[in-house]
Structures are given as structure tokens and as C-alpha cells.
């Protein structure tokens, strides 16, 4: 329900005496079904708003405002409507592989285009009707992130276990012809949608440029909690190398034909194949960074620049005390972070840095990324492997935490870690200057 949770100070809503607990019924006579209705209908210079007060009275308000000025309210339910759940049964679904006992929200599979627009979630388009597509185009719900996986109709039906999943190209064409920007994702599974199937998919998606912006290719993630699920495996070194070769060839083709490399591989493929990452310009301003694509290359480049920029600092060099920092990460990033920390220590001799990689016992050792590490694994492994009290500071990447919070997947907070080990634990963005400042000064600039 579109019940108001908070009212911004000095907002239209406060001026009009709209209060917490009131319900927004309509704008310009149209019922507010979801947040997209609200965002679309609010963008006029004159609107008529119907509010149901907490005592049941109905207020009809006539409002003159700036074109893009909102009421200044937040709703109890961010999307107002119920989130649409996923009707697929994907062979690679990560949620199906979660262990029992986690918070309920982690088990909900959404497949909602509104959450894609608002929060960047990926959708499969399998539960959309023609009128839903028309509404997306009419309301300019853009960009939308789409889980494509393959454009082969039969293969997509098989991978998603949904007989309606085969029409992805026609759905994507409707959206892109309507001017909607789409970011595509492929979860790559060995012996399913890799090899020639991957090549065909990328070539198909290239025909939807420019509104199909780019494609992120990420490997299947496999936990130890696959009881009752279809047998699946991850990529080996040779398969990862073959995938890199296919994508690099297609990147060059795309660059020649449409002026962009278009498809980008997750860092894991290069790590598995024991190949160095492409240079910075190959990531084209890191347009798929949210999928973890190019993260290590970007951090390496930014940190090198930050070291040069800050090389004249004297605060640490002129002190007799060694500043000791432990950097916590996943097993995949450990060798790269150790290389980077070696460069930092060479530049700042009074700095001592230990990179501590956390083995993922909670999900399984095949899960190597920092973003899926739990507080329990951090606690257990820091206690067994380190004298944490000897360090001045512990740094943790922001990807480990819920968005805009300092809470890990298993609800362990950064304050819990501080209390447990008696030193500051700090959440750090994956950005070179920010990381160096935290290493040198705990985040406080010299």
C-alpha cells in the first residue's frame, strides 16, 4: 500500500500538511498502483493529488510546482506494489543454493522490471505481458537490466526451465525499438551456453545496438548447498581461456562494426585462465563495473596513481611507529591485493600491510569473491590465523556489505567485529585514493 513512511523537511508535502501514515490515493485522477506511476505522474507543473488522512478524511489538493519537483515523501513499501516473484527454475540459480537459516528476504526471487529500474536488479522478461512492455515504453522505465543468458529459444527454455522463456529477442527488440536502454547479462555455464552458443548470443545482441548498451558475462557460481539440484560444474582453466579467446575476437569485431567492444568478461575468467587483465581502455570507462567486471584492473590503476600523488607525504615516513593494517578480502583477489600492497609498502616504509583472504566455508570454497563472505567466517579465521590486536586497523571492501549499510550477509555488523577484536574495522570503497588514504591515515587525510 502507498502509505507514507516519512516526509522531507521543507518539502511540498510538509507545506501541505501531509503526514506520516497518510495514504496517497491518486494523482490527476489516476490511482497510484506502484512507484512507477508516482514517478511518472508527479512530473507536471500542475497536479491534483488525493490523500487519505489517518482519520479517514479525503483531501483533494491542487498543487503548482516545478516540473521535476516531487512531494518529498517516502513510502512504507519502496515500490508501493508487491514485488513480482520469479517464475523460472534456472539451472544456475544462486538463491536455490543458499543454506538454510538465513534471513527470509534473501530467499525471495524477484523478477520485477521496476526493481531493475530502481535498484539495478536483473530481470528475465519471462513474466511480462504485451501491456507491461507498452507501459515500460510509455513511462520511459530506463535503463533495464536483463538476464539474457542465451538468445537460442530452445536453450533458454531449457536453462530457465520456463516454456515462455524463448521469446527474449522479440521482447528485447520491443524495448530497444521503443527507446529503452537495456544492459544485458549472461551467466555462463560450461556445456550449456558457452562456446558457439555464446558467440551466437553476442552476435544476436549486437543487432540491438545502440539501445542495448552492453553485455556482462559472468561465470556460474556454485555453493556446497546443491542438494536435489541438477549437477553443475564450474569452468576449468582451458575453458576459461577458450571463453576469453571467443569474447576478445568478438570485441574486436564489435569495435570495428559498432565502435564499442560491447561484451565484457568478469574478472574470474582471467583469474581462472591465469591471464592478465585487459588494459584500462578495454573496459570502456568500466561500464559493467557493478557486475565486478574490471574491478581489479581499475583498482590497480587507481592505486598506482594515488601512490604517485601522495608520494611526497611525510607523516608516516618521519615517525618511528610502524602503522599496521590488515586488509580482508576473498581468495580470488588475494594475490592481486598482495601485489598492490607490496607497492604501497615500498612507497611508504613505515606501513605494514597484511592481506588476509577468507576461505568461504559458509557457501563453499568454490565461492571466492569478497561480496559473499560472512561475518562468521571472518571471525573464525581472524581468530585462528592472526593476532588481530597487534594491528591498528582492519579494512574491508564495501562489496561485503549490504548497500548503504555496514552489515554482512549473516547480519554480523562492523561494530560486532570492532567489539570482538578491539580494533577499528572500516568499510572501504573499491577505489584507489580511498584505499590509500585508509591505509595511511585510517581514512583521514594528512
Beta-sheet pairing, 30-31 with 46-52: unpaired
Predicted local confidence at residue 408, as pLDDT: 92
Mean of the per-residue pLDDT values for the chain? 89
CATH T-level assignment (fold) for domain 4-75: Pdz3 Domain (2.30.42)
Predicted local confidence at residue 442, as pLDDT: 76
Average pLDDT score over residue span 221-226: 91
pLDDT over 70 (residue 107):
no
Cis omega (within 30 of 0) for bond into 40 = no
State percent of the chain over pLDDT 70. 91
Predicted local confidence at residue 320, as pLDDT: 57
Long-range Cβ pairs for the range 170-178 (8 Å, 24+): 171/125, 171/128, 171/133, 172/125, 172/146, 172/148, 172/205, 172/208, 172/212, 173/208, 174/133, 174/137, 175/133, 175/136, 175/137, 175/144, 175/211, 176/208, 176/211, 176/212, 177/211, 178/133, 178/136, 178/137
Q: Which residues of 319-343 are buried (b: 16+ CB within 10 A; e: fewer)?
A: eeeebebbbbbbbbbbebbeebbee
**pTM: predicted TM-score of the whole model, two decimal places:** 0.84
111 pLDDT band, cuts 50/70/90, is: low
Number of H helices, E strands in the chain: 14, 15
H or E, element range at 73:
strand 73-75
Check for a shared fold between 95-293 and 299-441: no
- Per the model's pLDDT, the better-predicted residue between 350 and 113 turns out to be 350
Instruction: Tell me yes or no: is domain 299-441 CATH 3.40.50.
Output: yes
Predicted local confidence at residue 118, as pLDDT: 58
pLDDT over 60 (residue 116):
no
pLDDT over 70 (residue 115):
no
Predicted local confidence at residue 185, as pLDDT: 95
Predicted local confidence at residue 354, as pLDDT: 95
pLDDT over 80 (residue 21):
yes
Span 355-411, pLDDT tens digits: 999 999 999 999 999 999 999 999 999 988 888 888 999 999 999 997 778 999 898
Predicted local confidence at residue 318, as pLDDT: 47
CATH T-level assignment (fold) for domain 95-293: pyruvate-formate lyase- activating enzyme (3.80.30)
Domain boundaries, the chain: 4-75, 95-293, 299-441
Cis omega (within 30 of 0) for bond into 143 = yes
Distance, CA of 50 to CA of 29 (rounded, Å): 8
Q: How far is CA 341 from the centre of its chain?
A: 26
Span 152-209, pLDDT tens digits: 999 999 999 999 999 999 999 999 999 999 999 999 999 999 999 999 999 999 999 9
Amino acid at each position: 500500500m502507498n502509505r507514507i513512511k516519512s516526509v522531507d523537511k521543507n518539502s511540498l508535502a510538509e507545506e501541505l500538511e501531509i503526514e506520516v501514515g497518510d495514504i496517497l490515493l491518486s494523482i490527476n485522477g489516476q490511482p497510484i498502483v506502484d512507484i512507477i506511476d508516482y514517478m511518472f505522474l508527479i512530473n507536471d507543473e500542475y497536479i491534483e493529488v488525493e490523500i487519505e488522512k489517518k482519520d479517514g478524511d479525503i483531501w483533494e489538493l491542487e498543487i503548482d510546482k516545478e516540473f521535476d519537483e516531487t512531494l518529498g515523501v517516502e513510502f512504507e513499501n519502496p515500490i508501493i506494489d508487491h514485488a513480482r516473484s520469479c517464475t523460472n527454475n534456472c539451472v544456475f540459480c544462486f538463491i536455490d543454493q543458499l543454506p538454510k537459516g538465513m534471513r527470509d528476504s534473501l530467499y525471495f526471487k524477484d523478477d520485477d522490471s521496476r526493481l531493475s529500474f530502481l535498484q539495478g536488479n536483473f530481470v528475465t522478461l519471462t513474466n511480462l505481458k504485451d501491456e507491461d512492455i507498452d507501459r515500460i515504453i510509455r513511462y520511459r522505465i530506463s535503463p533495464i537490466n536483463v538476464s539474457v543468458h542465451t538468445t537460442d529459444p530452445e536453450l533458454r527454455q531449457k536453462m530457465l526451465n520456463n516454456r515462455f522463456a524463448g521469446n527474449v529477442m522479440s521482447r528485447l527488440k520491443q524495448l530497444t525499438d521503443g527507446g529503452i536502454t537495456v544492459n544485458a547479462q549472461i551467466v555462463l555455464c560450461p556445456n550449456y551456453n558457452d562456446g558457439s552458443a555464446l558467440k551466437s548470443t553476442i552476435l544476436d545482441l549486437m543487432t540491438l545496438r545502440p539501445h542495448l548498451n552492453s553485455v556482462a558475462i559472468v561465470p556460474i557460481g556454485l555453493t556446497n548447498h546443491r542438494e536435489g539440484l541438477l549437477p553443475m560444474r564450474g569452468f576449468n582453466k582451458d575453458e576459461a581461456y577458450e571463453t576469453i579467446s571467443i569474447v576478445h575476437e568478438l570485441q574486436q569485431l564489435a569495435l570495428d562494426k559498432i565502435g564499442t567492444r560491447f561484451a565484457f568478461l568478469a574478472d574470474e575468467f582471467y583469474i581462472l585462465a591465469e591471464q592478465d587483465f585487459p588494459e584500462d581502455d578495454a573496459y570502456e570507462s568500466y561500464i559493467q563495473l557493478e557486475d565486478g567486471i574490471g574491478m581489479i584492473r581499475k583498482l590497480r590503476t587507481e592505486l598506482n596513481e594515488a601512490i604517485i600523488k601522495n608520494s611526497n607525504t611525510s607523516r608516516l615516513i618521519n615517525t618511528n611507529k610502524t602503522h599496521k593494517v590488515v586488509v580482508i578480502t576473498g581468495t580470488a583477489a588475494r594475490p592481486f591485493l598482495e601485489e598492490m600492497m607490496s607497492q604501497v609498502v615500498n612507497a611508504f616504509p613505515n606501513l605494514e600491510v597484511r592481506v588476509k583472504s577468507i576461505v568461504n566455508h559458509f557457501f563453499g570454497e568454490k565461492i571466492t569473491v569478497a561480496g559473499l563472505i560472512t561475518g562468521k567466517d571472518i571471525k573464525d579465521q581472524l581468530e585462528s590465523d592472526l593476532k588481530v590486536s597487534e594491528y591498528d586497523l582492519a579494512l574491508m571492501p564495501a562489496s561485503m556489505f549490504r548497500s548503504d549499510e555496514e552489515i554482512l550477509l549473516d547480519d554480523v555488523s562492523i561494530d560486532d567485529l570492532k567489539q570482538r577484536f578491539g580494533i577499528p574495522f572500516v568499510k572501504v570503497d573499491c577505489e584507489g585514493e580511498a584505499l590509500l588514504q585508509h591505509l595511511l591515515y585510517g581514512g583521514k587525510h594528512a
